[in-house]
Chains A and B, each alone.
Chain A
Amino acid sequence: MGYSDARAFCLDLQTHPADPAGDQAFLQVLARWAKRYCPWVGLEGADGLVLDITGSAHLFGGEAPLLHDIHQRLARAGLFVRSGVADTRGAAWALAHYGKGIAARAQQLDAIGQLPVAALRLDQKPSIALQRLGVRSIADLHALPRATITRRFGPEVLLRLDQALGTQAETISPLPDPPAYQVRLSLPDPIGLQADVMAGTARLLDQLCDKLTAQEMGARVLQLCLRRVDKGTQEIDIRLARAMRDPQRILTLFERGIGDIDAGFGIDQMRLVATLVEPVAVEQVTHSQVEAGDKLDDLITRIGNRIGLDNVQRFLPADSHIPERSFIVAPAAYSTPAGRWVSLRERPIQIFPPEPITGAGATPPASLRWRRMSFRVERATGPERIAPEWWLSDENWRSGVRDYWKVETKQGRRLWLFYTPQNPAWFVQGQFA
């Protein structure tokens, strides 16, 4: 049915674009949540979950209270759900899609017998053909001789019927658990020497890096927890400039943190967790190039652990005529050098927030005082008019358009001045080489 046809039937019809990827992601979240009821949770089609509650229903007081609990919680979250409980996956599917409630033990046929044959998870073709023959319900289908059904519709119909009634087994494949990147080491005797802690850390790192390699992941943030015999815990965090899984390189980065640790009466448990991991593909190692890049990344990590990884930055070009917005400062660990630096006009090598100077008129003053120095203007080049970006509201550009001048002074300095004709005033904003 087209949208306009649908509108004719229902005037206040609302539409939203479909987002299958988002729906799948949400279903994954829901599957993780459903693990509170049982450990075996699998996906059922594009919009369903299947739970094997064998042996866990009694924890919630039986099947009915469990189902009630699921409905209550999901309703509170604003979700409309249909559900069914039965001994077999097929019968539960039929109840969830075409009926409701709980099938009594070993009474599948009674529970789903009156449901249409489509409730057997059949394809459209056999289900329509069966209905045309007058076989409307599952009980009708069950009453037919089996050999004729197979001859006419192939083995699939009977397979589905047997699965629903429990004569044919069907399994649930649960979703895999996400891997946990943590390892620990308990020591029979407490340790306190720096070399010993480093050796323990090396052992943990080897295990952790094996895990990371198996999953093709790399650690970005690592945390080492050291528990002392008096139950005090000390933590060392390191943030890496690049996702890594090379134990030797990571170990040297722990040296500084371990040096600062107060071991007290000794450390008897160590735990190493990769709190942030990123996928790292296996890559070809060559003799050239890799060395320099690795050294630079290690350096960024070491500096970053002292002054903060966000304080190691690089410039990225931005598309703007506004001088202070013609570049972006981005953390070096999370960006790569990119873009081209093109400037159509000469720009100062140093810029600062505008500093007011005295002056009147639209041409630069003949002499000016700036930062307690006085200058005589010998040559002024300009003006270059730069208009504020009206689509962004910027406090500093409230004074309207600016006329920029390059001013060369007799004293030597070459300054970048601007004049705001809409609110007459002069400012210094930069210095040329």
Chain B
Amino acid sequence: MASDFHIHFPLRPNRVHEACGPSALGFAFAVAGQRRGTVLWVTEAWHADQINPAGFAPYFDPRNLLIAKGKDQTDVLATAEEALRSGAIALTVITVTKPIGLTEGRRLQLAAESGKSMGLCLVPDGMGSNAAETRWHCEPIFDAADSTLQRWEIIKNKSGTLATWIVRWNVEARRITVVSETGERPVSQVAPD
């Protein structure tokens, strides 16, 4: 199971992907850490929850991040399309709060293809667009020994199969590594602190 992770995880370039679930933000930062170049974060201006640069600095350099705050979802999608099409941005992260229609999703997809850029929509559960290349459901899981453990699950894939992985963030190497399933894992000797 763990071996085919590398087929999916550096996400397919020139496409728009989606992520949902409680750990979608962490997923977005992990993806951003793999892209070289500027990352544009597009959100609606009214959000009280905001990303904390001191927190995601281990994932990727906040100096490479630009934030665009739109008035409503139309602004957000238009800004994202512009950014994807320009080709100046390596990754465009789009936070949406309302469902994306097929037309909007397809437009984003075409923009990403023509600009040779990558898009990632952070969507609320069940509000994704059918045009997305892959959709990932990410949630943190509790483990007595490891406080970075997450479950990443592909719940939609246009060009492949669905799968689930347990991953952890390797702090020293600054990358995501796949952990074996619970049954196959060696019993942890580390006492929780």
| Residue numbers in A under 8 Å from B53 (CB-CB) | 315, 317, 326-327, 341
Contact (Cβ within 8 A) B142 A303? no
| Residue numbers in B under 8 Å from A413 (CB-CB) | 22, 140
| Residue numbers in B under 8 Å from A295 (CB-CB) | 86-88
Contact (Cβ within 8 A) A433 B29? yes
- B83 proximal to A (CB < 8 A): yes
1/0 contact trace for B60-89 toward A, CB 8 Å?
A: 011111111111000100110011001111
Separation of A307 and B67 alpha carbons in the complex (Å): 12
Separation of A152 and B50 alpha carbons in the complex (Å): 82
- How many residues of chain B are within 8 Å of chain A by beta carbon? 50
How many whole Å from A41's CB to the nearest CB in chain B?
47
| Residue numbers in A under 8 Å from B193 (CB-CB) | 381
Contact (Cβ within 8 A) A303 B79? yes
Nearest A residue (CB) for B78: A306
- B23 proximal to A (CB < 8 A): yes
Contact (Cβ within 8 A) B54 A327? yes
How many whole Å from A404's CB to the nearest CB in chain B?
13
Separation of A407 and B68 alpha carbons in the complex (Å): 31
| Residue numbers in A under 8 Å from B37 (CB-CB) | 292
Contact (Cβ within 8 A) A432 B83? no
- B57 proximal to A (CB < 8 A): yes
Contact (Cβ within 8 A) B52 A348? yes
Contact (Cβ within 8 A) B140 A303? no
Contact partner of B63 (CB less than 8 A), chosen from A323, A337, A346, is A337
Q: Of A10-18, A177-185, A349-357, A383-391, which stretch is located at the interface?
A: A349-357
Contact partner of A350 (CB less than 8 A), chosen from B50, B57, B144, B147, is B50
Contact (Cβ within 8 A) B49 A350? yes
Contact (Cβ within 8 A) A350 B51? yes
Contact (Cβ within 8 A) A411 B142? yes
Contact partner of A311 (CB less than 8 A), chosen from B29, B70, B83, is B70
- B163 proximal to A (CB < 8 A): no
Nearest B residue (CB) for A348: B55
Separation of A263 and B147 alpha carbons in the complex (Å): 63
Contact (Cβ within 8 A) B147 A414? yes
| Residue numbers in A under 8 Å from B130 (CB-CB) | none
- B187 proximal to A (CB < 8 A): no
- A398 proximal to B (CB < 8 A): no
Contact (Cβ within 8 A) A352 B67? no
Contact partner of A314 (CB less than 8 A), chosen from B65, B83, B141, B147, is B65
Separation of A347 and B26 alpha carbons in the complex (Å): 13
Contact (Cβ within 8 A) B69 A311? yes
Q: How many A-B residue pairs have CB under 8 A?
A: 146
Chain A stretch 307-359: residues in CB contact (< 8 A) with chain B = 307, 311-315, 317, 323, 326-327, 329, 332, 337-339, 341, 343, 346-353
- A430 proximal to B (CB < 8 A): yes
How many whole Å from B153's CB to the nearest CB in chain A?
13
- B48 proximal to A (CB < 8 A): yes
Contact (Cβ within 8 A) B48 A349? no
- B183 proximal to A (CB < 8 A): no
Contact partner of B56 (CB less than 8 A), chosen from A300, A332, A349, is A349
| Residue numbers in B under 8 Å from A314 (CB-CB) | 63, 65-67
- A110 proximal to B (CB < 8 A): no
Chain B stretch 142-173: residues in CB contact (< 8 A) with chain A = 142, 144, 147-148, 150, 169
Separation of A301 and B48 alpha carbons in the complex (Å): 26
| Residue numbers in B under 8 Å from A351 (CB-CB) | 49-50, 52, 55
Contact (Cβ within 8 A) B66 A312? yes
Contact (Cβ within 8 A) B26 A299? no
Separation of A410 and B139 alpha carbons in the complex (Å): 12
Contact (Cβ within 8 A) A430 B52? yes
Contact (Cβ within 8 A) A341 B55? no
| Residue numbers in A under 8 Å from B87 (CB-CB) | 295
| Residue numbers in A under 8 Å from B26 (CB-CB) | 349, 433
| Residue from B65, B83, B142 whose CB has the most chain A CB atoms within 10 Å | B142
A-B contact pairs, 24 of them (CB 8 A): A296-B89, A314-B66, A315-B62, A315-B65, A315-B67, A327-B62, A329-B67, A332-B66, A341-B53, A341-B62, A349-B25, A349-B51, A352-B50, A408-B142, A411-B142, A412-B22, A412-B139, A412-B141, A413-B140, A430-B52, A432-B55, A432-B140, A433-B55, A433-B150
Knowing that A337-B63, A350-B51 are A-B contacts, what are 16 other residue pairs whose CB atoms are under 8 Å apart, sorted by A's residue number?
A: A307-B79, A312-B68, A326-B54, A338-B63, A339-B63, A341-B53, A341-B61, A341-B62, A341-B63, A349-B26, A351-B50, A351-B52, A352-B49, A409-B142, A413-B140, A432-B55
